[in-house]
Structure formats: structure tokens, C-alpha cells
């Protein structure tokens, strides 16, 4: 089965602190792409970070980084120095065989 699982429906973090969002997935292939998308309230979904499965190095984009564990089929997102603007729904997604699979999302609350 090609599924993406986000086991944390909601999380909270204090402003300026670090939070990690979890994601696991199923696949029988070695070549695929993984993504984290952010969907702010009533706003458009935007890409946070992207990882090619053939790359061993974890992707990093400013305060956002991933921990990609290919053997464990795990793809967690770490947000450092959390800001109020990080509050949103975060979706983990996988692409292979010309199909996208999204998780159910994690709602991130940021406390001032």
C-alpha cells in the first residue's frame, strides 16, 4: 500500500523553540520524492522542503530541516527557532509512479 502517515494530529511549540513533526510512509520502490507542505489558515499551500530518496544527505532550508531515514521509511521535519508565522497545517507527501500521496496533516500551534 502506498500510504503516508502523520501520527501527530496537533502539536504545540513555544516561540523560538524547536519542534519535530513525524511522518512515515510505505513504498516498495527505491526511487521517489518526499515533500513537506505548509497550509496556513485560509491561505494557499506552499512547499517547505523537498527530498529526493536517492540522496543520502538530509535537505535543509533555512530554519527547516528533515531527518530522512530511508530504511525506516521515516521523514520527519524539524523547525528551529519557531516563529508565530509557522503556525499552520503541515502535510507530508510522497511522489512516485506519477502519483502523489499526502498524509492527514499535523496542526502546528506556536505559542508567544
Partner 1 sequence: ETGVTQSPTHLIKTRGQQVTLRCSSQSGHNTVSWYQQALGQGPQFIFQYYREEENGRGNFPPRFSGLQFPNYSSELNVNALELDDSALYLCASSSDSYNEQFFGPGTRLTVL
> In the set 46, 61, 83, 109, which binds partner 1 (CB under 8 A)?
46
Cell of 76: 520527519
Stretch that binds partner 1, among 12-20, 43-51, 66-74, 76-84 (CB under 8 A): 43-51
Beta carbon nearer to partner 1, 19 or 90: 90
Is residue 54 a contact residue for partner 1 (CB under 8 A)? no
Tell me how far apart the alpha carbons of residues 103 and 90 are, in angstroms, rounded to a whole number. 9
Say whether 78 sits in a helix, a strand or coil.
Answer: strand
The binder of partner 1 chosen from 11, 24, 50, 78 (CB under 8 A): 50
CB under 8 A: which stretch of 12-20, 21-29, 58-66, 95-103 binds partner 1? Answer: 95-103
Neighbours of 46 (CB within 10 A): 10
Q: Does 102 bind partner 1 (CB under 8 A)?
A: yes
Strands 46-52 and 60-61 turn out to be: unpaired
**Stretch binding partner 1 (CB under 8 A), from 11-19, 20-28, 58-66, 92-100:** 92-100
Give the E-state strand segments of 7-87 in sequence order: 10-14, 19-21, 24-25, 33-39, 46-52, 60-61, 64-69, 74-79
Binding flag, residue 11, partner 1 (CB under 8 A): no
Amino acid at each position: 500500500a502506498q500510504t503516508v502517515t502523520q501520527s501527530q494530529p496537533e502539536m504545540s511549540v513555544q516561540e523560538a523553540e524547536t519542534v519535530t513533526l513525524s511522518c512515515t510512509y510505505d513504498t516498495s520502490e527505491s526511487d521517489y520524492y518526499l515533500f513537506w507542505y505548509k497550509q496556513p489558515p485560509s491561505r494557499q499551500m506552499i512547499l517547505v522542503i523537498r527530498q529526493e530518496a536517492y540522496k543520502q544527505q538530509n535537505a535543509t532550508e533555512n530554519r527547516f530541516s528533515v531527518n530522512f531515514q530511508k530504511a525506516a521509511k521515516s521523514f520527519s521535519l524539524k523547525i528551529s527557532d519557531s516563529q508565530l508565522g509557522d503556525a499552520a497545517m503541515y502535510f507530508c507527501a510522497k511522489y512516485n509512479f506519477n502519483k502523489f500521496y499526502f498524509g492527514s496533516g499535523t496542526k502546528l500551534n506556536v505559542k508567544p
